[in-house]
Structure 1
């Protein structure tokens, strides 16, 4: 969300300046659409008489999913609608303010000015999105940005106080230095409707100190529970174990949890309330967890009985979470609801095939990177009798996989007409496959992003969109989403490039 403050300073908004508060159902009353009261006759055009719900549906198509590059004006289409009439001005404001995106600090400063001057605008805000935020640009140094005071812990706290109906707070590493104890207290202690919080990659010392102070088990200010349903601390590597001990038992409504590469412990996991209904879970690269305890948690804790997405991706060269015995205990007892499973780095060999094969008929994503499977085992996944439903398969780091094996072994994957849409391989294997004429002839093309490489099936009628992906169409995302919409910005880097 990038706009010029003067665009939203029209006196026409001043017909309504009272702050709206949420009802018991979590909704906020929309301001009425104005009309000319100088004459009893309603002179509005037919389009201006539509219900506000219809406007919401129409204007949602004008919202840019990602900000434009550089410092160009954003929301240009919506800004044009604002100027069409007084009625459309009022109807459009909610669409603009409900999902506020901040790619740069001046944008936040203008936003804060508006919701401060017109409190009802703050009541419209449902999402504060800093996933695209950067403090770099316009030729300014870091010191210059600090002196400008556009976005600081103080102004961030002020913004949270003015947005009492906030549902989603999406932050990331670039915002870490501006998050202090007051921000966290405002966020977790005073927003009753808060559903999603994402601190992806934040590890700044100030961020760490703030979490240690606020989320301490002995902090008398801690409430009995938090309303948060979706929480991501993905790659928040500096947070102390005490933070997880304090926060996880206070999430009775939890549905999405991403603790990738954190210092979470087995006991903290077991402290998650039984009332939680976790459908998306990532415990990737958590070195303090033990395989047998994680398996016990997954099989016995009532909060994870309806899992749809499970990420247990580990770098086997550094730490292997699941032993062969752990895998044997886990695979036959996975929830029937599971559609995405990442077991990269687990001790999996041909002996586990009888437990893996029954899963391919219901899984859509399966990651088996750096395991000890043979090419014959992998080809068996797509044998007709197993009725494979796989759309995405990760075979990175498997020594038996090679371009020739993928094409010319018995029952090879690439020449077959299967449900598979994306095959993730090492960069070397993807490059080798791309050089073979047979790859293109079979309808596969090469793609890469960051450290990852894929072969992608072309001319498929499946766009990849699934309800469990929460609006994304991409396969193989290793970050649990906390908001609905396509993955972009720093979230795309952490989820799709690393």
Structure 2
């Protein structure tokens, strides 16, 4: 590569950035080892080519730090401390190592775990690779971090000092799954220390999904009062109640909002919030699209739900009155009694829906087919507990009704009984369906899918050559080599439809800076950080996002 110096550095950085994004999108099967393997391939191929490549590789690989083990985190920390302590490097003009820690933007602990891998929680405390002290030292040495993604395996290491720092300094912050008295006490202490006048103005994305032990009394009022600039807020499976919604601050920029599976909320409280709260109603007084919801999760558990058909009708009409129907692309109504009437309201007033969750839909299949055919952009629909979708349905003369009624639909979620019957229908677990125009010479393949990391949700998806392949059971699981002994690099992505099936708001910033599907560009315009369907979560976040 002797000619690299004849080109501007920006061109080589752009080329390496494309290669980096392509390699890091190789995530099937999803595992921490896959992430590390992709990064190793990228660095070995480019790091030592010349000084330009070296600089570019450092910047690309350090902006997103993924820690799957406490040991790896500690090794990384010690390296940063060592490089920063070498003051002589600054005098010699070699500032690459000094500035390395300043390049880090996202810290991701979503895949971190060692419990169950030969170590106990007590052993982790004794080893002290990742503690509140080492974590604080890491934050001190990396001043430009914008996003911090925690999980339940580091909840004991998040003391009130660290939580206060994160709330004040981060732009994206996710505490998904963090529970227990220690974490809750530290969280409350850090919020109360800041007081009602605390300044969390930098924070634009906050995830508290499954933080079940955070006390509802006063803490949410104090916390949310200081976060009026939030764009994404996930409060699923928390203990918030109707009183919290009444004192909810005005958030004019809120686009992603989840209060799914919050058992203390009532239909009256939610309807009152959507009807009267300025966060929900302000958009009807202006044309600013940023004031309207794009992602809304109102899922309830049907075993304790008090929602009625009338409640759902009022809900949809209030969303229409407030202008959210034109911008909503994700809507989760699982557990709500959705009927034929509601499907008509959705098809006539919610034209841009891409992902719709109506697992307890009470409409017959003929009406579902008519509804799906009207939804121009609908790619995913959840019909898990629909009483009209039986296991025999796909084996009658009408078996193609739902599978070939729409050009856009790529996946349907079904109950286990229906899915297992479909899976046993053929050796390759698939169904061949005529094209939507009836052309039998151009058959479409639908295949059953069950991800190995969870087992309580079941999908069938339409096969294509790139985004939803038909060889995902084996792809990426075996290494191949050429005649010279060099490893072949094959890019295998997770099925694209999974990002539409997620229940969790994606809080972090993706490694990949462009959409995973060319159709996404056509449907929604060029990609930016507010893209509605970002990517499929990894690690513990994946469990919370794609579980039942």
Settle same-fold status: TM greater than 0.5.
yes
Partner of 2:299: 313
- Which runs of structure 2 are paired with 1:474-493 in the superposition (5 Å)? 474-485=499-510, 486=535, 487-493=537-543
Q: Once the 2 structures are TM-superposed, how far is the Cα of residue 52 of structure 1 from its aligned partner?
A: 4.9
Residue segments in structure 1 that go unaligned for 5+ positions in a row: 1-42, 465-470
* Aligned-partner Cα distance in 1 for 2:100–2:347: 54
Q: Is the 8 A contact 1:360 1:381 kept in 2?
A: no
Q: Is the 8 A contact 2:360 2:386 kept in 1?
A: yes
Deviating above 6 A after TM superposition, structure 1's stretches of 4 or more consecutive aligned residues are 70-74, 460-464
**Given the alignment, which residue of 400, 418, 423 partners 1:429?**
418
Q: 1:196 to 1:60 in 2, by over 3 A?
A: farther
Q: Is the 8 A contact 1:256 1:279 kept in 2?
A: yes
Q: 1:362 to 1:220 in 2, by over 3 A?
A: closer
**Given the alignment, which residue of 264, 279, 290 partners 1:288?**
264
* Aligned-partner Cα distance in 1 for 2:328–2:150: 28
Residue segments in structure 2 that go unaligned for 5+ positions in a row: 85-97, 284-291, 434-444, 470-495, 511-534
Q: Once the 2 structures are TM-superposed, how far is the Cα of residue 116 of structure 1 from its aligned partner?
A: 2.5
Matched positions, count: 443
SS of the aligned residue for 1:106 comes to helix
Partner of 1:341: 331
Partner of 1:399: 387
- Which runs of structure 2 are paired with 1:62-461 in the superposition (5 Å)? 62=20, 64=24, 68-69=32-33, 75-80=39-44, 81-117=46-82, 118=84, 120-136=99-115, 139-189=118-168, 191=169, 194-216=170-192, 219-220=194-195, 223-241=198-216, 242-304=218-280, 305=283, 306-320=292-306, 322-334=307-319, 335=324, 336-359=326-349, 361-383=351-373, 386-406=374-394, 408-409=397-398, 412-436=401-425, 440-442=431-433, 443-449=445-451, 450-459=455-464
SS of the aligned residue for 1:475 comes to helix
Q: Once the 2 structures are TM-superposed, how far is the Cα of residue 224 of structure 1 from its aligned partner?
A: 3.5
Q: Is the 8 A contact 2:369 2:405 kept in 1?
A: no
Q: Is the 8 A contact 2:353 2:375 kept in 1?
A: no
Q: 1:490 to 1:120 in 2, by over 3 A?
A: same
Q: Is the 8 A contact 2:167 2:173 kept in 1?
A: no
* Aligned-partner Cα distance in 2 for 1:463–1:255: 30
State the TM-score, normalized to the length of structure 1. Answer: 0.80
Q: 1:110 to 1:45 in 2, by over 3 A?
A: farther
State the TM-score, normalized to the length of structure 2. Answer: 0.73
Q: Once the 2 structures are TM-superposed, how far is the Cα of residue 157 of structure 1 from its aligned partner?
A: 1.4
Q: Once the 2 structures are TM-superposed, how far is the Cα of residue 270 of structure 1 from its aligned partner?
A: 4.4
Q: Once the 2 structures are TM-superposed, how far is the Cα of residue 244 of structure 1 from its aligned partner?
A: 1.6
* Aligned-partner Cα distance in 1 for 2:410–2:149: 30
Q: Once the 2 structures are TM-superposed, how far is the Cα of residue 328 of structure 1 from its aligned partner?
A: 1.3
- Could you give the per-residue CA deviations for residues 430-484 of structure 1, whole angstroms, max 9, x where no partner exists? 11233446961212111123210011112377769xxxxxx98632111100124
* Aligned-partner Cα distance in 2 for 1:395–1:446: 15
CA RMSD of aligned residues (A): 3.0
Q: 1:54 to 1:427 in 2, by over 3 A?
A: same
- Could you give the per-residue CA deviations for residues 123-167 of structure 1, whole angstroms, max 9, x where no partner exists? 211000101111237744433322121101111112112222111
- Could you give the per-residue CA deviations for residues 23-77 of structure 1, whole angstroms, max 9, x where no partner exists? xxxxxxxxxxxxxxxxxxxx98534863357416514533635665399766223
